[in-house]
Structure formats: C-alpha cells, structure tokens
C-alpha cells in the first residue's frame, strides 16, 4: 500500500471577527472573549492508493472542514497536507487538479445559469486536459458514463432531478481525471431508491478508474457499504479509525458504540432496538476538558475529565483515543 494523500497534525481554527458591539466594548476596556472555534484539531490520517476512507461524525464534528482541507480547498491553520509528498496548495490556493470534490447539495454546486455541458467542460478546457473543440465529445462521454443521455449537455441544472444533478456533479469532478475524489455527503439529500443508484454508480466508477476516495457521511450504513477503512470524528478529533469491517464489528470507542446503537438498522428479524446516547454535542466554542466525549460517556472516570487520551494503535491495528479502550 502506498500513501497517496496524507494529513499531518492538521488543525483548523476559525476566528470569529469581532462585531461592532464587541469592538465598542473592547474600546471601553471590556475583556475580549476572542472566540475561536477549533473545527479540526490535530488530525493525522492517510489515504492509501486505491482505497476508500469513510469519515463519519455528527454535524459540527469537523468532518466537512477536514474534507475541504484534504481536498486542498481550505488551508490548515497548522499542520500540512501532502499529495504524493507535495502540498496541494500554494499561497492559499489549490494548485492541483488531481483532487476533485463532489458536494452534498447539487443544487448549490452547479451554476444555475450554465448549461451542464459547459459546467462539465469548463475545468478540463481551462487546465488543458482537452481542447475546446474536443470538449463536446468529452462531455458526451462523461454523461454517458454517469448514466445520462449525452443530449442533456444543452440543459440547465433546474431541468434535472436531484439524483440526475448529483450524476452531473460526479461527471464534472471525474472529467478532471482526478486521482483522489472527496465526496462530502453525496447521497444525503437523495431518496432511498435514488441513493442506491448513485452509490452503485460510485462503486462502478471507483472500480473502473481505480479512484482513491474520501467519503464523508453522517450515515453509518452508507459509510459501511462503500469504505475500506473508516475514521470516526468527535468534536474536531478522530476518536477511532481502522478497517471498516473491524470497527463496525468491534467498535472500541464508547462514542462509536453509541453511534452504532443510535442508528436504526433493519436487522434480519427487523426488530429495531435503539439505545440513544445521553446529551448533545458540546459547543466547539467551549470543548470539555480531557476527553471531549466524557460528559456523555457511560464509562467516564476521573482521568477522562482531566487528560485527553491520545489516538494510539491497538494490537489489531485499530487506532483508538480512549482511556478505557
């Protein structure tokens, strides 16, 4: 296995710009609260050539921010991202075409005033992957590969259903001939039957093109289905990662266990028992001390409140950040 995309101790802070009120208060000598949200904290991970890594977590856990950092769209505050040993960014801008992204909302990610053929061709033409004269053939080819009629190139995004639009978004990303595809909740807004169609398309294309993928989702069942390895995020940090089959069969972190127990699954007997986790995600503005999960954790002890457990490998290779793992 060769590492293709690597994140080394990546942290991303978002500093809230002080409002007028804050600045007036500060001018009168009020203590500034200097609120900064640390969306991603000290995350290291590796995407190996040809594998799909599933990134799971609830809203606000930082999974999309991490995805954007890995895609080279967002610069980390500290730490670095390396694609084949080189940074995908330079001076705050993405400089590689080898990583492409498919976003959750195909309504927002496609320009409503552009014919979808032009949306698909724009990147490849700009980067010299194809000449403008030959771009029509490229568009037709990609539309066919994602299961759409090549004649649709002349249409506008509003003329498509959500599932078709996501197909267009996939075609647009893949027309750039990327090595890495970052998918941020690509099926979250789709109906069950359409979701199955898009997942099948994703599995087919990934195999045919030998793609390396980061698949971000809140849906544990979807992630299980497409991923070789998974990483579970909680409040900006990875709390557990490992081979998908292992993590799902023997989750080591209490949060992973709680997530799995909270997720309704249709089992063989179709009896569904839910064991919800108590409490809510704490505010990232004021993360709990020690292990961020301790206020909701049934196993929490004194050490969990005081010391943050590092992400350490278990004997079976699973990485785990838990004092009781």
Partner 1 sequence: MTLLQVRALRTHFLTRAGAVKAVDGVSFDLQRGEILGLVGESGSGKSVTGFSLIGLVDPPGRVVGGSIRFDGQELVDLAVTRMRELRGRRIAMVFQDPGATLNPVLTIGRQMVLAVQAHRRLSERAARALAAERLTRLGIPDAEARLDAYPHEFSGGMRQRVAIAMALLHKPDLIIADGPTTALDVSIQAQILVEMRALARESGTALIWISHDLAAVAAVADRIMVMYAGRIVESGPVRATLAAPRHPYTRGLLDSLPATAQPGARLRQIPGNTPALLSLPPGCPFAPRCGYADAACVTDVPVIEHDGRMARCHHPLEPRP
**Given candidates 191, 302, 307, 316, which one binds partner 1 under the rule CB under 8 A?**
191
Q: By CB under 8 A, what part of segment 131-190 binds partner 1?
A: 161, 163
Residues 194-223 touching partner 1, rule: CB under 8 A, are 194-197, 199-200, 203-204, 218, 220-222
Separation CA 41–CA 64 (nearest Å): 13
Instruction: Please report, for residues 43, 53, 113, 184, 200, the alpha-carbon distance to residue 64 in angstroms, rounded to integers and kept in the order given.
Output: 13, 14, 27, 7, 23
**Does residue 276 interact with partner 1 by CB under 8 A?**
yes
Could you say which of 29, 85, 128, 264 contacts partner 1 (CB under 8 A)? Answer: 264
Q: Which of 89, 211, 216, 244 binds partner 1 (CB under 8 A)?
A: 244
Structure tokens at 260: 């799995």
CA distances from 212 to 64, 132, 169, 203, 257 (A): 17, 28, 17, 11, 27
**Binding of partner 1 at residue 111 (CB under 8 A)?**
no
Nearer CB in complex with partner 1: 49/263:
263
19 contacts partner 1 (rule: CB under 8 A):
no
Q: Name all contacts of 206-212 with Cβ < 8 Å and 24+ positions apart.
A: 206/52, 206/181, 209/174, 210/50, 211/50, 211/178, 211/179, 211/180, 211/181, 212/4, 212/5, 212/47, 212/48, 212/49, 212/50, 212/51, 212/52, 212/179, 212/180, 212/181
Interface segment toward partner 1; rule CB under 8 A; list 99-107, 269-277, 286-294, 316-324: 269-277
From the list 281, 295, 314, 324, which residue makes contact with partner 1 (rule: CB under 8 A)?
281
The yes or no reply on residue 226 touching partner 1 (CB under 8 A) is yes
> Which spans of this chain sit near partner 1 (rule: CB under 8 A)?
58-59, 161, 163, 191-197, 199-200, 203-204, 218, 220-222, 224-226, 244-245, 258-259, 261-266, 269-278, 280-281
């Amino acid at each position: 296995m060769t590492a293709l995309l690597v994140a080394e101790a990546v942290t991303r802070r978002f500093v809230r710009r002080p409002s007028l009120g804050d600045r007036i208060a500060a001018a009168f000598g009020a203590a500034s609260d200097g609120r900064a949200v640390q969306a991603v904290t000290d995350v290291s991970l590796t995407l190996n050539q040809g594998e799909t890594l599933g990134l799971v977590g609830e809203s606000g856990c930082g999974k999309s921010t991490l995805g954007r950092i890995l895609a080279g769209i967002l610069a980390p505050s500290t730490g670095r991202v390396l694609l084949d040993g080189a940074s995908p960014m330079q001076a705050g801008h993405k400089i590689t075409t080898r990583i492409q992204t498919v976003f959750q909302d195909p309504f927002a990610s496609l320009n409503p005033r552009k014919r979808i053929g032009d949306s698909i061709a724009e990147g490849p033409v700009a980067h010299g992957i194809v000449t403008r004269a030959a771009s029509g053939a490229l568009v037709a080819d990609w539309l066919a590969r994602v299961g759409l009629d090549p004649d649709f190139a002349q249409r506008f995004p509003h003329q498509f259903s959500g599932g078709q639009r996501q197909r267009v978004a996939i075609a647009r990303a893949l027309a750039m001939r990327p090595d890495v595809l970052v998918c941020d909740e690509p099926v979250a807004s789709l109906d069950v039957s359409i979701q199955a169609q898009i997942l099948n398309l994703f599995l087919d294309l990934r195999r045919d093109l030998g793609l390396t993928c980061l698949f971000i989702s809140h849906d544990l069942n979807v992630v299980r289905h497409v991923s070789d390895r998974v990483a579970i995020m909680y409040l900006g940090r990875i709390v557990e990662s490992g081979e998908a089959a292992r993590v799902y069969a023997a989750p080591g972190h209490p949060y992973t266990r709680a997530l799995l127990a909270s997720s309704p699954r249709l089992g063989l007997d179709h009896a569904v028992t839910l064991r919800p986790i108590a409490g809510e995600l704490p505010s990232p503005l004021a993360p709990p001390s020690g292990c961020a999960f301790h206020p909701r954790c049934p196993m929490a002890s004194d050490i969990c409140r005081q010391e943050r457990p590092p992400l350490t490998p278990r004997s079976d290779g699973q990485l785990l950040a838990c004092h009781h793992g």
